[in-house]
Structure 1
């Protein structure tokens, strides 16, 4: 409790500092880069807001991968219409702006551990931005010499993402003049965990390149070996009394009839024994039942259909692992890393792939608190424990899809996997401009088109990110 109180106090001071900058938004200065901005406060805000960017990304994409569905028919989030994600765009760039300041101030002061952590967070936020939008501004984004920065090539930016991770890991391994502490909301200054986090992210981003000339299985597995070794290493930000986990707020809002967090029929049927032979014991720990005590999903694009009452469909409900007010937002987990390892090793080391696949399932079940007997029963089912010789990519992707519930990384997986999850179908009332195909990228924000339109690339929602060609 003392630690949470400290975090609350730190966050409150950062929010006040940010609020004090609001009156300067109309002048040609960067309000996030005051000359005396303390590196500690910037780190607090950057770690906290990075976690919120994971939520924002998950909120934007969870309907696309059919975790969630809209209760209203033809909702743009369901039918893959172009949506304006200006808020998400600004949030990503605001964090990267602060991280750029941390990097520069760290260089001035020899604060190599701050610099290394900031480089890892920069890689994460930049990588997410590229994964969502493709070509984006970066090289001209933080000098404030132009308000219309050029767009950089998405493949070149990916090289920069991987360089930032390598540079960050190296800086964390060296000496530092200033050490991180409770101003770091992710690891509270634990440098060894930051190094594992950097390697885990390196494995994540390298996996995206599978199938391209940039892919290296050996490099990816080396990053896995240096990454998380248990769920105790997970990168996350926990919440506290003054600020709820945002997924908890979605669940609370829904219970108050501000509808959101309705569960897709695809997700329910993947875990209730409909699409796969066994019932997954994680289902009641992740979502709620109807008023009749049943799990019933909503068809993406169709809305509530013939069940207008709210209690006739499953939703996110308050108080579960993902939706308790003080639940963490998971940025990267050991479970994810094991599924990355399983996919990477599948072609050349099936024994390693199978072991990692089972370890990923077990890690996620332990995270949710699945009872030992239920876990053992699920893992013993032949459809889950099929043996190394029979393990397929589809098996790995299905279990990873469950384990990364509500996380934006799943949309990268879905696009790489060509949305080939068992029984996943296009939503009803699909955006006709998609020509019967799944969405491949987010539209550039309206705010960017209006103020930097000459530089914004001309793309459609079907144009693929470089690694998804």
Structure 2
């Protein structure tokens, strides 16, 4: 019996040894065993775009970029879907799709002295930390990636803002290095946005810092000169825009999330507020040359938009007053793979994460607050011009609009509402989270956002207790299922937690 046991053990060891050798010689060279930066980077870039797009479907209703075709939609009412991960993709992307992958990319870059890759990783994470905290308020920072944890404590938004600054400055340090194995050709293997051009990544990082510094405009610590300096070092033209590319045709998973093939905006309609900014009602009777680009007329030729919570009363096949989809076609006529779409709502349209026009409007606002109206006017007009170019407006129409009564022509005539409404238009369909930051900073003021009317107390979601939305609740399936005790410390389990004003807008 003893001999049998020994023989069995020896046979087992021989078998294990043989298996190890077999596995050693059968590694798949097509699937790397170590995650390299050029492999990790493309899906992370795609997820930056998908996160914004996924959650913008909901927040776009808060800011009235769009509304639902049917009445009494929860998000039109500034509510939320309890027990659901709806509007939780920014959270998921930050902590899961990026998260450990960022660290893998940093480890690989450090080991191989690829400082350009480490700079890019830090730049993306700085942007993601900024977006996630602006969206949710208090989030998990210090304990976020500690192993073997099941409960995570939240950190203040002020701490997250400070960490964004540190991470962004670390990114600049790495991106400015030329030693080691820094190589544009190497970085370009994974960099689908800037093709390995570190100078453009540096400008992007300054854009993140500009957002970070400008978002605290209500505080006594706000420094408009610092914001202006960051803007001056950031994107210098539309050629510097941070665009995530997508592909039309073939695999729909590679198409723009807002394109007709993926049908994620099928029941969404332009709002009356958006239409009013383009048809002359707000801007002194001047029709915006982007009207037919950002919105679509009904079959009878009239531009209409839904009033949030009321839907489209003409939403029937054959009704000539029916409001079309964002793809420029009536709902019943949209055909995946055939309907081309329009603007940022096309299958092959790149999705902008940060644009030159946004940077100019940030600069204009900071200069206006500082009291330098001349600088504010110049940046404001540059922002409008860049937005018109981005939308594909013809040169003659652009020049006519810039010289019209819709655009302030003198520094003494410029108002903060001029700046913020034009920034709103520049970011329609893609800068929705940034626009929501702005609207919250100004507390949805109709003196700034002319014509914007939140749902009435009776129309608001019941859990709001008569208050409008100021943050998004943390992702349900991680926080409300596993981390409720930590949420309690910040009142996160309250039904109206999404109406609590975040730190960044407070004085």
Tell me the SS of whatever aligns to 1:330. strand
With 376-385 and 165-174 compared, the bigger mean Cα shift is at: 376-385
Tell me the SS of whatever aligns to 2:260. helix
**1:455 alignment partner, one of 471, 483, 486:** 486
Alpha-carbon shift at residue 98 of structure 1 (Å):
1.4
Check 1:116–1:445 CA distance in 2 against 1; reply closer, same or farther (3 A cut): same
Verify the 8 A CA contact 2:120 2:171 in the aligned structure 1. Answer: yes
Q: Which residue of 2 is the match for residue 79 of structure 1?
A: 77
Q: Which has the larger radius of gyration?
A: 2
Alpha-carbon shift at residue 87 of structure 1 (Å):
3.8
Tell me the SS of whatever aligns to 1:331. strand
**1:150 alignment partner, one of 150, 153, 163:** 153
Q: Which residue of 2 is the match for residue 422 of structure 1?
A: 450
Q: Which residue of 2 is the match for residue 359 of structure 1?
A: 382
**2:359 alignment partner, one of 333, 337, 341:** 337
Verify the 8 A CA contact 2:37 2:105 in the aligned structure 1. Answer: yes
Q: Which residue of 2 is the match for residue 248 of structure 1?
A: 259
Computed over aligned residues only, the root mean square deviation of the Cα atoms, in angstroms, reads 2.0
Q: Do residues 172 (structure 1) and 175 (structure 2) align?
A: yes
Aligned-partner Cα distance in 2 for 1:292–1:52: 35
1:51-97, Cα deviation, whole Å (9 max, x unpaired): 22222242231111100001121111110112343344212222233
Tell me the SS of whatever aligns to 1:98. helix
Aligned-partner Cα distance in 1 for 2:268–2:71: 15
With 55-64 and 86-95 compared, the bigger mean Cα shift is at: 86-95
1:303-326, Cα deviation, whole Å (9 max, x unpaired): 123544486014301431211211
Q: Do residues 138 (structure 1) and 141 (structure 2) align?
A: yes
Q: Which residue of 2 is the match for residue 22 of structure 1?
A: none
For structure 2, list consecutive stretches of 5 or more residues without a partner in the other structure: 1-31, 328-339
Aligned-partner Cα distance in 2 for 1:433–1:396: 33
Aligned-partner Cα distance in 1 for 2:55–2:199: 27
With 84-93 and 171-180 compared, the bigger mean Cα shift is at: 84-93
Verify the 8 A CA contact 1:54 1:329 in the aligned structure 2. Answer: no
Q: Which residue of 1 is the match for residue 392 of structure 2?
A: 369
Q: Which residue of 2 is the match for residue 63 of structure 1?
A: 61
With 278-287 and 174-183 compared, the bigger mean Cα shift is at: 174-183
Tell me the SS of whatever aligns to 2:473. coil
Aligned-partner Cα distance in 2 for 1:385–1:118: 40
Counterparts of 1:5-404 in structure 2, within 5 Å, are 36-83=34-81, 84=84, 85-94=87-96, 95-175=98-178, 176-179=180-183, 180-241=187-248, 242=251, 243-249=254-260, 253=263, 259-277=266-284, 278-305=286-313, 307-309=315-317, 312-317=322-327, 318-346=340-368, 347-404=370-427
Aligned-partner Cα distance in 1 for 2:346–2:406: 32
Aligned-partner Cα distance in 1 for 2:302–2:172: 47
- TM-score of the two chains, using structure 1 as the length reference: 0.87
1:221-269, Cα deviation, whole Å (9 max, x unpaired): 111111111110011111113321111137x738xxx832311111011
Aligned-partner Cα distance in 1 for 2:256–2:146: 34
Aligned-partner Cα distance in 2 for 1:56–1:297: 22
1:31-68, Cα deviation, whole Å (9 max, x unpaired): xxx97222221112212211222222422311111000
Alpha-carbon shift at residue 436 of structure 1 (Å):
4.0
Aligned-partner Cα distance in 2 for 1:314–1:42: 39
Aligned-partner Cα distance in 2 for 1:87–1:53: 5
Alpha-carbon shift at residue 369 of structure 1 (Å):
1.5
- TM-score of the two chains, using structure 2 as the length reference: 0.81
Aligned-partner Cα distance in 1 for 2:485–2:467: 29
For structure 1, list consecutive stretches of 5 or more residues without a partner in the other structure: 1-33
Check 1:466–1:283 CA distance in 2 against 1; reply closer, same or farther (3 A cut): same
Aligned-partner Cα distance in 1 for 2:103–2:74: 34
Aligned-partner Cα distance in 2 for 1:264–1:97: 39
Aligned length: 432
Q: Which residue of 1 is the match for residue 11 of structure 2?
A: none
